[in-house]
Structure 1
Amino acid sequence: MSSFRRMLQQALRVSGLSGFPLLRWVGRWAEGTVVAPDGTTVRSMDDMPGTSMPGFAWDLLVRRALSKLHQLQLEGVQRYGPMWKVSFGPIKTVHVAHPALVEQVLRQEGQRPMRSELSSWKDYRKLRGQHYGLLTSEGEEWQEVRSLLAKHMLRPKAVEAYDQTLNGVVSDLIAKLRLCRQPEGLVTDIAREFYYFGLEGISSVLFESRIGCLEPVVPKKTEHFIESINTMFVQTLLTMAIPRWIHSLFPKNWNAFCQSWDSMFEFAKSHIDQHLKEAERKSKCQEVKGHYLAYFLSQTDLPMKTIYSNITELLLAGVDTISCTMSWSLYELSRHPEVQASLRDEVLSVMEGRKVPQAADVARMRLLKAVVKEVLRLYPVIPANARVITERDIQVGGYLIPKNTLITLCHFATSRDPAVFPNPNDFLPHRWLTKDQTHHPYASVPFGVGKRSCIGRRIAELELYLALARILIEFDVRPDPEGVSVKPMTRTLLVPENVINLQFVER
């Protein structure tokens, strides 16, 4: 083994390739190994490269890197290769930024995968006596709710049943875009309009009724709910980065975080209670056949606090996914008119003169799906995910990772890996349609993989497809006349750094 290591090191020096990140990592692997309990040769975490507590604190406090965490992934790959550790006090996090390594982690996650702690989210629930939802629960509690909701949210036939409901929301979005256009068709801050659209869409699925997000005057409670989501995501990174004991000394951020959650729970609870009362009233004189999710959950044995928590978390999860993906999709299509024209031709060809697409139509729109895939590759809503393997030690990338170690999956970095996606920073949706060009299945996984993948994926995708198809039928989407270029930033989720303004010109 030692002779092999010397040969590899010599080959790297002679070839002049040792400056490449992946090859630097291979060279470090060759420097020394340990033997794992099962007899295989691996390295320990002590040998893993990475940044120390001072380095992390420098990024966090001096460079103000909370909004640039997605960029730190790319920097990490350049400095250390596809795996590195970050130490902050007693906490060590392993960062994984290569598709094959992401696959290794996820294939060893066990029957009940555990995400990162989301410690501040759980601290709030303990403080207020709230139950956990799908985003915060673990183990059997998570498995029970996941199994119940999967019947209505993951089966293709079940999701197709929502297309009429979602098309009604899309029709109101088209009307709202026409209403808020300025001269020359300019709509300012489109992400805000798509926030309303996203919330109205997920509410229609959860409650099977409308809550007024797309009306000319948006209800104050709805406005406050959206503001609370924004505040909560901003404060999430701060409250998780700061030790708990500091909250009592400097309570401003923690109080803002708790107040935002209070508002979100109150909003969800009021709508759930209202619609369950209406369903109970109807059931006295007729059978309630609605398939909306709040009513379905109420017919199970779940405690009401569990139902409130799950609906609240589904509401906030649905809003940002739709808003960000719609905003980036139209932003890129406006800057690539040739792609927009090809996509419109595809939609019109499939529609054959009809104005309102259905779920069955979407299945035939290959370029539409490729556009959304490419947008989510460039701008994954969740730029990094995490896993904690609790059952046993695992081996990843030649290292032995002790159980209960937090492993960060760097999706932003893997989806912009030039070895997987040539010209990784360019918007090239046709890369998903080329038969002779295949991509590693774990290189771009915006909705996650396996049992812990996003349960609302199919509904979100259907809503996106229906909305984009309708907008292209009605409008020619053009870029901001000011020519402003917009980049992403991290706010727990990946969002536009600046407002996106677009022109919607009638066709």
Structure 2
Amino acid sequence: MCYYLKLKYFTLHGPLPGMPPQFLLGNLAQSGLLFDKASLPEAHIAFKQRYGDIYQFWISSTRLIVVNNLNDIQYIFTHRNIYDQGDIYVQKFSIVIPHGLISSKGAKYKRHAGLTLPLFRRGKIVSNFDLIVDCVDKLLIRWRAKSPQHLHLDIVQQSQNLLLAIFGLIGFDYDMETLDNDNDTNKNELTKALQYFLSNFNIMLFSPKILSTIYFKLSSQYRQSQKTIEQYFDRMIKQELDNGEELIAQRKRTSLIASLVGSLQQDEEMEINKSEEDRKGLSRNELLDEMRLFLLAGFETTSTALAWFIHLMSKHPQVQQNIKTELSNNNSQGLLSLDQLDSLVYLDCVIKEVFRFCPPINGTVRTLTVDDRLPETGAQLFRGDQILIPFHSLARDTRYWSIDPELFYPERFLGADKDHHPYALIPFGGGHRQCTGQDLARFELKVIAARLMQYVTFGDGGNQVNSGGHLSKLTIIPKHVGVTIDFDK
């Protein structure tokens, strides 16, 4: 049996190059991922240097074919009938979000997408402008109480607290109270449960499915966190339903939770007896899972990008000054309006450069529905193969950038790299399964960055505490961030 498992799940397949996987671990130990000696971006760059544009990479028993050629990547994203949602997402996320958009394919995905994707359109997003500014102002009040010499070593946590507060209000009309005090023991029950739920995603991502499933079933703390989340979400749903149809219809124009509740199936038994193609609306379990997924889409990526933004600003004082100059030139020194935000072209470049230099997500995966051959490299692929497109490797590939991609240089998007290949910078993926919440993430980050730059300057705490580096979690977070925060006179 062990020999069969090793041959099937832990042996290089076919002619594509790669490092022979180890039993149970795949390439996790060999690449340095297992003990945090290397991050996923670092591992993929090392493998690319060793094996070229296409190679095999194993995460535990999951075999991935990593593709770095842009013409092949463009082909993959534009042939959705051949390259569907990655099975790894369905397998992994179905453990904790079995009924969510990310775990769905085919007709079920179309039904969920038709109901949830419109919720992240610009019209709904921009209406939260003042709410985001108010949350940032709460964080600024906390920072102002600290000495300018105080070394902030918890920027990742503070970024997460800010985005949890913002998305709690945007998504659920609920105050998570993460900006109210510094004492973790005073966090409200839902916030504690959500943070525990999110902290366990690493187990799901890097462990074999059977081990993850056993862990989540046996962990009493995880089960309790899920029970707490479900209880609170049920209350939110009930509160919306109590508003009545007329008020729900009004609130659907701007409220995510109202829009979701408005899609709740009236008769679940009748819907479940229909074919998937004929079903309408969302069941209660599907609604609960979409609420969990919304939390990830609206919180995790942006909080990681914000932590990187703060770290990079502390390392590049001239970029900070350029943003402040642009704010001043647009009369945005005290008040901040949506029109002023839209006019901040240099800040747009900075945010694009943050997403290029440090993509929060490692990559995206597609699974073949039929056999196929890639047009550029000529690699023969087979039905069921899983293709990983690594965002960080593309963003640092000298073939695709006119200005040295190892430099953090926002001005590249005003000049030589303004017309870069569209698939060289895809921090949210591409094609029909790209990130649902990307417009919200970009908007949140721009509002937050503009508001912060109106008031504070981030200082470098020194290489011992502010050296950056990558840490592979659900997102790729900065490993070492230590900054001072000085309020501008």
Alignment TM-score > 0.5, same fold:
yes
- Per-residue deviation, 1:175: 2.1
Contact 1:238 1:253 in 2 (8 A): no
Match of 2:85 among 109, 114, 125: 114
Distance 2:60 2:471 in 1: 26
Number of matched pairs: 449
1:184 aligns with 2:174: no
1:494 is matched by which residue type in structure 2? I
Report the equivalent of 1:270.
Answer: 231
1:142 aligns with 2:105: no
Taking a change above 3 Å as real, the CA distance of residues 108 and 420 of structure 1, as seen in their structure-2 partners, is: same
1:402 aligns with 2:382: yes
Give the 3-state SS of the residue equivalent to 1:477 in structure 2. strand
Match of 1:377 among 352, 356, 361: 356
Match of 1:347 among 327, 349, 352: 327
1:418 aligns with 2:384: no
Give the 3-state SS of the residue equivalent to 1:347 in structure 2. helix
Give the 3-state SS of the residue equivalent to 1:403 in structure 2. coil
1:161 is matched by which residue type in structure 2? S
Match of 1:211 among 162, 171, 176: 176
Report the equivalent of 2:129.
Answer: 163
Select between 111-120 and 480-489 the one with higher mean Cα deviation: 111-120
2:127 is matched by which residue type in structure 1? A
Distance 2:100 2:81 in 1: 20
2:115 is matched by which residue type in structure 1? L
1:196 aligns with 2:161: yes
Structure 1 regions of 5+ residues with no counterpart? Answer: 1-44
Distance 1:215 1:427 in 2: 34
2:439 is matched by which residue type in structure 1? R
Contact 2:24 2:60 in 1 (8 A): no
Distance 1:361 1:263 in 2: 45
Report the equivalent of 1:486.
Answer: 468
- Per-residue deviation, 1:60: 2.0
Match of 2:255 among 264, 269, 292: 292
- Per-residue deviation, 1:123: 5.4
Give the 3-state SS of the residue equivalent to 1:60 in structure 2. coil
2:363 is matched by which residue type in structure 1? A
Select between 215-224 and 166-175 the one with higher mean Cα deviation: 215-224
Report percent identity of matched pairs.
20
Contact 1:390 1:404 in 2 (8 A): yes
Select between 227-236 and 99-108 the one with higher mean Cα deviation: 227-236
- Per-residue deviation, 1:346: 0.9
Taking a change above 3 Å as real, the CA distance of residues 108 and 282 of structure 1, as seen in their structure-2 partners, is: closer
Contact 2:100 2:286 in 1 (8 A): yes
Match of 1:98 among 69, 73, 77: 69
Report the equivalent of 2:271.
Answer: none
Report the equivalent of 1:15.
Answer: none
- Per-residue deviation, 1:306: 0.4
- Per-residue deviation, 1:117: 2.3
Give the 3-state SS of the residue equivalent to 1:211 in structure 2. coil
Give the 3-state SS of the residue equivalent to 2:472 in structure 1. strand
- Per-residue deviation, 1:479: 1.5
Contact 1:195 1:226 in 2 (8 A): no
Distance 1:406 1:385 in 2: 10
Structure of higher CA gyration radius:
1
Report the equivalent of 2:200.
Answer: 232
Distance 2:235 2:141 in 1: 27
Give the 3-state SS of the residue equivalent to 2:149 in structure 1. helix
| Alpha-carbon displacement from aligned partner over 1:320-345 (angstroms, at most 9, x marks no partner) | 21221111111111111111101111
Distance 1:450 1:72 in 2: 25
| Alpha-carbon displacement from aligned partner over 1:437-461 (angstroms, at most 9, x marks no partner) | 5311111201111221111111111
Report the equivalent of 1:37.
Answer: none
Report the equivalent of 2:456.
Answer: 475
- Per-residue deviation, 1:55: 9.6
Contact 1:298 1:304 in 2 (8 A): no
Taking a change above 3 Å as real, the CA distance of residues 285 and 161 of structure 1, as seen in their structure-2 partners, is: closer
Give the 3-state SS of the residue equivalent to 1:459 in structure 2. helix
- Per-residue deviation, 1:56: 9.5
Distance 2:236 2:26 in 1: 50
2:71 is matched by which residue type in structure 1? A
Contact 1:185 1:504 in 2 (8 A): no
The TM-score with structure 1 as length reference comes to 0.80
| Alpha-carbon displacement from aligned partner over 1:29-64 (angstroms, at most 9, x marks no partner) | xxxxxxxxxxxxxxxx83322222249957423554
Structure 2 regions of 5+ residues with no counterpart? Answer: 1-12, 264-280
Contact 1:213 1:222 in 2 (8 A): no
- Per-residue deviation, 1:466: 0.9
Give the 3-state SS of the residue equivalent to 2:99 in structure 1. coil
Give the 3-state SS of the residue equivalent to 1:164 in structure 2. helix
Contact 1:420 1:439 in 2 (8 A): yes
1:82 aligns with 2:82: no
| Alpha-carbon displacement from aligned partner over 1:121-178 (angstroms, at most 9, x marks no partner) | 35535xxxx7411222222212222222222203x23322221232222222222332
